[in-house]
Amino acid sequence: MKIDFVTLFPAMFPSVMDASMMARAKDKGLLDWGCVNPRDFTEDKHHKVDDRPFGGGPGMLMMVEPLDKAIKSVRKKGSKVIFLSPQGKTFDDKAAMRLSREKHLILVCGHYEGVDERTADLFDEELSVGDFVLTGGELPAMLVADAVARLVPGVIKKEDATASESFATGLLDFPQYTRPRVWRGREVPEILFSGDHAKIAAWRKTAAAKATKRKRPDLIERA
């Protein structure tokens, strides 16, 4: 998969996209990413990418033309162009699965007060990462890239990938423990040392249901 970020702040990307699992995905040839800066597609002396809103009001808006040119410079047949914005549909596990099957994502990061309404013509889809307002779409774009990339086959170990599917089943993960067996007097549940895999699986199922009911009752209501 290739992910192109359309951003005025490309310097924000390498520390996230070239570390840990994303770096491994790139090394394995499963993920490639790049940045394209709308500022490089301006023709005026000051490389202007934003302007004041017609009709007045606070803040600046991103202009449509530099964004259009930046997107066109990386867009191919079959590319999916997504704009990150609080006005989009909320990004979730389902959307991550769907996008993980795409060959080329173009994630467009807004900045300033917003974008010219006519930029809507440039996007296939608009996604939000939650009901709050950030200073830019760069963190949302990287969040989407991370969640999508880990679902690309081969990026993470199979066992981990299937564990994540527990989200799709509507339950949180079951509680897990590693060494030490006793920590500050808190013991690991005895059953996990029983060697009885059927019993352990049953315990985990119940524990996952209990955890979901306690921490995320909304997930149960939705199911």
Q: For residues 1 and 129, which CB has a smaller minimum distance to ligand 4GS in the complex?
A: 129
**Shortest Å distance, C-beta 106 to ligand 4GS:** 15
- Establish if 175 lies at the interface with ligand 4GS (CB under 6 A): no
> How far is CA 106 from each of CA 34, 44, 112, 176, 215, rounded to the nearest angstrom?
10, 25, 20, 37, 35
Q: How many CB atoms lie within 10 A of CB 120?
A: 13
Q: For residues 114 and 175, which CB has a smaller minimum distance to ligand 4GS in the complex?
A: 114
> How far is CA 143 from each of CA 11, 99, 150, 167, 170, rounded to the nearest angstrom?
16, 13, 11, 17, 21
Class of residue 149 by CB neighbours under 10 A (exposed 0-12, middle 13-18, buried 19+) = buried
Tokens of 22: 């994303």
Q: Are 71 and 41 in contact (CB under 8 A)?
A: no
> How far is CA 124 from each of CA 15, 192, 203, rounded to the nearest angstrom?
28, 48, 44
- Establish if 161 lies at the interface with ligand 4GS (CB under 6 A): no
Q: For residues 60 and 219, which CB has a smaller minimum distance to ligand 4GS in the complex?
A: 60
**Shortest Å distance, C-beta 129 to ligand 4GS:** 4
User: x/- contact string, 98-117, with ligand 4GS (CB under 6 A)?
Assistant: ------------xx--x---
**Shortest Å distance, C-beta 179 to ligand 4GS:** 39
CA–CA separation, 38 and 27 (whole Å): 28
Q: Are 152 and 25 in contact (CB under 8 A)?
A: yes
**Shortest Å distance, C-beta 148 to ligand 4GS:** 14
- Establish if 140 lies at the interface with ligand 4GS (CB under 6 A): yes
Q: For residues 10 and 114, which CB has a smaller minimum distance to ligand 4GS in the complex?
A: 114
Total residues binding ligand 4GS (CB under 6 A): 16
Q: What is the CA radius of gyration of the chain?
A: 22
**Shortest Å distance, C-beta 134 to ligand 4GS:** 4
Q: For residues 37 and 128, which CB has a smaller minimum distance to ligand 4GS in the complex?
A: 128
Q: For residues 134 and 207, which CB has a smaller minimum distance to ligand 4GS in the complex?
A: 134
Angle at 61 between CA 56 and CA 63, to 5 degrees: 120
Range 77-96, binding ligand 4GS (CB under 6 A): 84-86
List interacting residues with ligand 4GS (CB under 6 A). 84-86, 110-111, 114, 128-130, 132-137, 140
